[in-house]
Amino acid sequence: MHRRKINIAVDGYSSCGKSTIAKGLAKALGYTYIDSGAMYRAVALFALRSGWITAGEINEEQLKKHISDIVITFKTNAQGEQETYLNGEKVEREIRSLETANGASRVSTLPFVRRELVRQQQLIGESKGVVMDGRDIGTVVFPDAELKLFLTASPEVRARRRFDEMKARGEHPLFAEVLANVKERDLRDTTRAESPLRKADDALELDNSEIGIDEQLQWAMEKYHTLTAQNEQH
Ligand code: DC
């Protein structure tokens, strides 16, 4: 049966497993997966490399002047994984560092950065069939998304997941530092003036602290099937 394509928004706190569920959905449905956080990370990497982010401040003037020089694209590698490119250079590894994560959280508070990335994200979503994860997808980027999911998990569970991921990449993080970073980003993401992280009124919420990936994906697929079956009856 041919089903009309929809857009799916997956929002939630950092390290909440958003990308795992979003990628799983995209694969199962043959949709395009877009990691909007990677776009904020790429902007941060560009700004860090240009020396525009220091401990105390961001050189907003320079970043604003050069925002349209930042071209972010995604390509799928031989293993079928999506990788992020900044001006044609593969930066998938670089954008996952703690330094870039912190930079991303900071540049994402700037209205002109959000405006530009939201514009690009909405263009990608025009043809439908997109699963996008982030913080403001259900509220700002795709307020009309047919399916909106909002994931939560405790800070400790999320820090443990990020800690394990970093160790698996051969890094030597300190758990306390990773936990502090998760909490710091939660605070910034939820309290910033511009598009703070919040659940859209029509989003379906799932706390995944205690449940595994297969179960989460099953939950999301059930929501998708219920919705599309309803749409077909109308
Ligand atoms: O999901 P992530 O950890 O890769 O996101 C990196 C940062 O970018 C995070 O601190 C919040 C910000 N972000 C945002 O403000 N809006 C989005 N749609 C996605 C990410």
pLDDT 10s digits, 208-224: 999 999 999 999 999 99
Query: SS3 letters for 120-185?
Result: HHHHHHCCCCEEEEECCHHHHHCCCCCEEEEEECCHHHHHHHHHHHHHHCCCCCCHHHHHHHHHHH
Answer yes or no: is pLDDT of 2 > 70.
no
Closest ligand 1 atom, CA of 141? 18
Q: How many CB atoms lie within 10 A of CB 193?
A: 7
Q: Please report which helix (H) or strand (E) contains residue 34, including its range.
A: strand 32-35
Instruction: Work out the mean pLDDT of the chain and round it to a whole number.
Output: 93
> Residue 56: which pLDDT band, with cuts at 50, 70 and 90?
confident
Q: How many CB atoms lie within 10 A of CB 96?
A: 17
pLDDT 10s digits, 4-44: 999 999 999 988 999 999 999 999 999 999 999 999 999 99
Whole-number Å distance, alpha carbon 36 to ligand 1 midpoint, is: 7
Closest ligand 1 atom, CA of 41? 6
Average pLDDT of the residues in 82-100:
94
Strand partners, 36: none
185 lines ligand 1 (CB under 6 A): yes
Whether 44 and 107 have beta carbons less than 8 Å apart is answered as: yes
Atom 6 (ligand 1): residue with closest C-alpha? 37
> Residue 1: which pLDDT band, with cuts at 50, 70 and 90?
low
Q: Can you tell me the distance from the alpha carbon of 48 to that of 42, in angstroms, rounded to the nearest whole number?
A: 10
Distances from the Cα of 147 to the Cα of 9, 14, 197, 198, 207, angstroms: 6, 20, 17, 16, 17
How high is the pLDDT of residue 234?
65
Q: Can you tell me the distance from the alpha carbon of 185 to that of 179, in angstroms, rounded to the nearest whole number?
A: 10
Average pLDDT of the residues in 45-60:
95
Answer yes or no: is pLDDT of 230 > 90.
no
Answer yes or no: is pLDDT of 98 > 90.
no
Domains of the chain plus CATH, in order, are 7-224 (3.40.50.300)
Atom 9 (ligand 1): residue with closest C-alpha? 105
For ligand 1, mutation pick of 13, 14, 178, 186 (most atoms within 8 Å of CB): 14
41 lines ligand 1 (CB under 6 A): yes
How high is the pLDDT of residue 142?
98
